[in-house]
Homo-oligomer: A and B are copies of this chain.
Amino acid sequence: MNDGIEQRSAPRVEVVTIGTEILLGDIVDSNSAFVARALADAGIDVFAKHSVGDNVERIEAMLRGVLDRADGAVTTGGLGPTVDDLTREAVARVLGVDLVLHEDSLRKIERLFAAHGLSMSENNARQAYLPRGAEPLENPHGTAPGFLAFRADGKLIAATPGVPREMRAMVTQRLIPALSARYDLQSAIFTRTLHLVGINESEADRRIDDLFRSLENPKIAMLAHDGYVNVKIMAKARDRGSAEEMIAPIEQDVRARIGSWVFGVDDVSLPSAILSDLIDRNSSIVTAESITGGGIADAFVHVPGASQAFRGGVVAYDNVLKISLLDVPVDELREHGAVSEAVAHSMANGARERMGSDFALATTGIAGPTGGSPEKPVGLVWFALALPDGKIVTRRSVFPGDRDFVRRRAVVTALELLWRNLDVGRQLAISAAGNQSLREPLG
């Protein structure tokens, strides 16, 4: 709503999450990260985040403190129908106003209850009361409206719900447009994220270390998680077009150093990158999982449209199933044990043939905490990938960590083995076209 008021420069805000459950760690707070990122991307600097319990005095004191330091507070939580939902009241105290009924919001809540054949309790009407003078922010996914209010000195408080789905929609669809109308958000932060796999953080760091130090805008950040490395290039610019012009040469420089580990940009995940590639070439993939126990299949099925390339798989946790469903020879299991290159090889081969697929990806390993030996320690995993020509590529890894860590890393490493060899497949094709020397598949 741009009502002719002169636009002011972008506010500097702090984020406050409200709720005893978040404060005491009963739930991990993912809201404040979302809000901070969304505001930063819109060009609003976030200087601090806070969390406070369901106590009206403490919420009030927290908000007063924030408005002392910053231009505004953005809150999540405490807007529901229960007696523990105290954000409206605390904000009214900070603004020095009373709470008044917002008729439109009340009618929306009544309609939602009626649509579900329920009668509305008195408690639910509480959600329609807002601090006097506040502008309601509609809740696209729930009953409780949020609001945007200003103190007499011009400092702002924006209140959004604690339910992540409701909060996210409200922040992006209602709050940021409302702030854009009132403030001159001259420049926003535009980001391009390169996703890497198969390189560790310190090696990536070594290769682009000087860029971290020398660049200001765009600047670079790196984050490692679960076997992946993300390199973010962030440009502060007036619009996407100029941001892209600023980002392009930096991206080129980064890719020249670590491009061979980049599997995608921005919202791409490794399973989605693999599936797109397979769908493009009309190829299919199946899995034969022991240690990863369905984790690779699950990562594929997570991607919408996975069925165009992912056919399914076998979780052959028990050796009997390795034999009956994947044709692993009994003698091989006896001679080499289930966790061996030979058995991984046979699992991939059997899966590809039994399920009639182009590629097949197999894992077998020791997740722990028990079952390790000096020759085969906890964390040992054998991977095998059957290629469309029937050749099998294998790889051995030992992951240092607990059961959960070993299994998560095994999933990522299996995917990387597949991706790396898809890539080799592409390079084979390109090389063949250019009559260059061929590279072997990488184990």
DSSP majority for the A interface? mixed
Partner of A28, one of B33, B51, B354, B407: B33
Q: A298-B294, A317-B307 are in contact. Are A36 and B47 (CB under 8 A)?
A: no
Contact status B315-A320, CB under 8 Å: no
Partner of A315, one of B46, B61, B313, B321: B313
A221 contacts across to B, CB distance below 8 A: 20-21, 26
A325 contacts across to B, CB distance below 8 A: 312, 314, 325, 354-355
Chain B CB within 8 A of A409 CB:
no
Chain B CB within 8 A of A426 CB:
no
A291 contacts across to B, CB distance below 8 A: 301
Chain B CB within 8 A of A228 CB:
no
Q: A294-B289, A294-B296, A315-B294 are in contact. Are A29 and B29 (CB under 8 A)?
A: yes
Chain B CB within 8 A of A293 CB:
yes
Chain B CB within 8 A of A304 CB:
yes
Contact with B along A14-25 (1 / 0, CB 8 A): 000000111111
Contact status A62-B46, CB under 8 Å: no
Chain B CB within 8 A of A300 CB:
yes
Contact status B321-A317, CB under 8 Å: no
In A103-128, which residues have CB < 8 Å from any B CB? none
A367 contacts across to B, CB distance below 8 A: 301, 304
Contact status A24-B46, CB under 8 Å: yes
A26 contacts across to B, CB distance below 8 A: 33, 37, 221, 223, 232
Contact status A47-B52, CB under 8 Å: yes
Contact with B along A38-70 (1 / 0, CB 8 A): 001000001111111100001001100100010
Chain B CB within 8 A of A425 CB:
no
Q: A294-B289, A294-B296, A302-B404 are in contact. Are A25 and B37 (CB under 8 A)?
A: yes
Q: A29-B29, A36-B23, A48-B62 are in contact. Are A301 and B312 (CB under 8 A)?
A: no
Q: A21-B223, A33-B25, A310-B317 are in contact. Are A302 and B58 (CB under 8 A)?
A: no
Chain B CB within 8 A of A240 CB:
no
Contact status B317-A314, CB under 8 Å: no
Contact status A369-B304, CB under 8 Å: yes
Chain B CB within 8 A of A282 CB:
no
A404 contacts across to B, CB distance below 8 A: 302
Give the contact-size bracket for chain A: 35 or more
Contact with B along A315-340 (1 / 0, CB 8 A): 11110110011000000000000000
Chain B CB within 8 A of A246 CB:
no
Q: A229: shortest Cβ distance to chain B, in Å?
A: 13
A300 and B266 alpha carbons, distance in the complex (Å): 32
A289 contacts across to B, CB distance below 8 A: 294, 297
Contact with B along A220-239 (1 / 0, CB 8 A): 01010100000010000000
Contact status B311-A301, CB under 8 Å: no
Contact status A301-B306, CB under 8 Å: no
Contact status A24-B50, CB under 8 Å: no
A296 contacts across to B, CB distance below 8 A: 294
Chain B CB within 8 A of A256 CB:
no
- Indicate the member of A23, A295, A307, A310 with the most B CB atoms within 10 Å: A23
Partner of A314, one of B62, B65, B315, B407: B315
Which 5 interchain pairs have the tightest Cβ spacing? A293-B301, A294-B294, A25-B33, A294-B297, A25-B37
A-B residue pairs in contact (CB < 8 Å), sample of 18: A23-B36, A25-B33, A25-B35, A26-B33, A26-B37, A28-B30, A48-B52, A65-B65, A293-B301, A293-B306, A294-B313, A294-B315, A297-B315, A304-B403, A306-B317, A312-B316, A321-B355, A325-B325
Supplied contacts A310-B317, A312-B318, 15 more A-B pairs, CB within 8 Å: A21-B223, A23-B49, A24-B36, A24-B40, A48-B53, A287-B315, A289-B297, A293-B297, A293-B306, A295-B301, A297-B317, A312-B314, A312-B321, A313-B314, A324-B355
